[in-house]
Structure 1
C-alpha cells in the first residue's frame, strides 16, 4: 500500500490502465533498444531508437507529480516550480476539492509513516499516482520517469496510440490479466468500459457477467463468487 486514500481510485481504473500501459510498452518496444527524454519546456516526452535516432515515438507529456525520497513526499505538479498551476494535474485537485480528498488538495503529501520510502516503494507509488490520474482525467497512458536522486516524475501522455477497442482488449487481456492486480474486478470492468467509451450491459441482476460492445466486436466477462474474472467470451468483427 502506498497512499491509502488514493488507492481506491487507482484500483477502479486498474484494468483500463493496464491495457493502455501495455499498448505504450508495445509501441516503445517496436523501436527496439531505446531511450527516453523529457523536455518540460516543450512539454514532450520522446522515446528514441538507439540504433536509428530518426525512429521516435513523440508524446505530449503532462507532469502530474514528483515523488521524492529526500523529503519523503509527493509534490503535485500544480504546486511544482516546473509545473502548470492550471494544467492537467489541476483536475485531480478539483476532484479532491469536490469530494473532500485532502491528499489531492494538499500541495505536498508526506509518505505514510510506515512507508519504507525506498526505490521499490517509490516506483509502486508512482504507478498508484498514474492510475489515479488516468481515472480522474480520462487521459492515458502514463509514464513513471526516474530522475535525479531517486525521485520519480509521473507524466500523463497524449501518445500516438489508437483508441482502445474491444477487439484490441480481448487480444491483450490474457497477457494483461496475468500481471494485473484487480482488487475489485467487476468495478474495473465497468470502469474499463466507461474510460474506453464502450457500451456495457450486465448479464443479470446478480452482476455475474458484463457484456461490452463497440464497433470492433463484443466481449462478455464472467465473474466468480468472489467477483474475480473467470473467463471472457468474445465475438469480434473481421477476426
Structure 2
C-alpha cells in the first residue's frame, strides 16, 4: 500500500490505465531500443530511437506530481516550482476539495510512517498517482519518469495513440488479466467502459455480468461470487 486514501481512485481506473500503458509501451517499443527525454520548458516528453534519432514519438507531458525519497514526500504539480498552479493537477485538487480528501488538497503529502520509501515503493506510489490522475481527468496514458536522486515525476501524456476500442482491448485482455489482480474487478470494468467511451449494460440485477459495446464489437464479462472476472467472451468485427 502506498497512499491509502488515493488507492481506491487508482483501483477504479486500474484496468483502463494498464491497457493504455500497454498501448504506450507498444508505440515506444516500435522504435526499437530507445531513450526518453523530458523538456519541461517545452512541456514535452520524447521517445527517440537509438539507431535512428529521426524516428521519434513526441508527446505533450503534463506534470502531475513528483515523489522524492529525501523529504519522503509527494509534491503536487500545482505547488511545484516547475508546475502550473492552474494546470491539469488542479483538477485533482478540486476533486479533493469537493470530497474532503486531504491527500489531494495538501501541496505536499508525506509518505506514510511505515513506508519503506525505497525505489520500489516510490515506483509503486507513482503508479498509484498516475492511476488517480487518469481516473479524475479522463486523460491517459501516464508516465512515471526517474528524474535523479531516486525521485520520480508523474506525467499525463497527450500521446499520438489511437482511441481504445473494444476490439483493441480484447486482444490484450487475457494478458492484462493474467499479469495483475484487480482489487475491485466489477468497478474496474465499469470504469473501463466509462473512460473509453463505450456503452455498458449489466446482464442482470445482481451485477453478475456486464456487456460493453462500441463500433468495433462487444464483450461480456462474467463475475464470480467474489466479484472477480471469471470469463470474458467477445464478438468483434463491427457488431453493435
- Classify the TM-score, shorter chain: over 0.9
1:222 aligns with 2:222: yes
Answer whether contact 2:59 2:158 (CA < 8 A) is retained. yes
In structure 1, the partner of 2:148 is: 148
Q: Does 1:185 align with 2:194?
A: no
Asked if the contact 1:14–1:181 (Cα under 8 Å) also holds between the matched residues in 2, the reply is: no
Report the CA distance between 1:148 and its aligned residue.
Answer: 1.3
Query: 172-181 or 125-134, which moves further after superposition?
Result: 172-181
* 1:52 correspondence with 2:34: no
Q: Within the alignment, does 1:104 sit opposite 2:127 as a pair?
A: no
**Cα deviations by residue, 1:10-37 (Å, 9 ceiling, x for unpaired):** 0000000011001001001111100000
Give the Å deviation of 1:179.
Answer: 1.4
For the Cα contact (< 8 Å) 1:15–1:180, is it kept in 2? no
1:202 aligns with 2:199: no
Matched with 2:67 is 67
Alpha-carbon distance in 2 for matches of 1:227, 1:169: 20
What SS is found at the alignment partner of 2:213?
Answer: strand
Task: Could you tell me which runs of 5 or more consecutive residues in structure 1 were left unpaired when the two chains were aligned.
Answer: none
In structure 2, distance between residues paired with 1:217 and 1:176: 19
Cα distance between partner residues in 2 of 1:140 and 1:238: 25
Distance in 2 of aligned mates of 1:43 and 1:131? 21
Contact 1:18–1:180 (Cα < 8 Å) also in 2:
no
Distance in 1 between residues matched to 2:106 and 2:220, nearest whole Å: 41
Distance 1:57 1:180 in 2: 27
Q: For 1:91 and 1:41, locate their aligned partners in 2 and report how far apart those are by CA, in whole Å.
A: 22
Unpaired runs of at least 5, structure 2: none
C-alpha offsets along residues 170-203 of structure 1, whole Å, 9 cap, x if unaligned? Answer: 0010111111221000000000000000000000
Decide whether the 8 Å contact of 2:59 with 2:157 is kept in 1.
yes
Deviation of 1:238 after TM superposition, in Å, equals 5.9
For residue 190 of structure 2, give the secondary structure of its aligned residue in structure 1: helix
User: In 2, distance between residues paired with 1:186 and 1:126?
Assistant: 24
3-state SS of 2:183 partner: coil
Separation of aligned partners in 1, 2:149 and 2:64 = 19
Conserved 8 A contact 2:215-2:238: no
- Normalised by the size of structure 2, how large is the TM-score? 0.98
CA distance in 1, matches of 2:111, 2:181: 22
Which residue does 2:115 correspond to in 1? Answer: 115
Cα distance, 1:101 vs structure 2: 0.4
Identify the residue that residue 78 of structure 2 maps to in structure 1.
78
CA contact (8 A) 1:14 1:180 kept: no
Partner of 1:7: 7
Partner of 1:19: 19
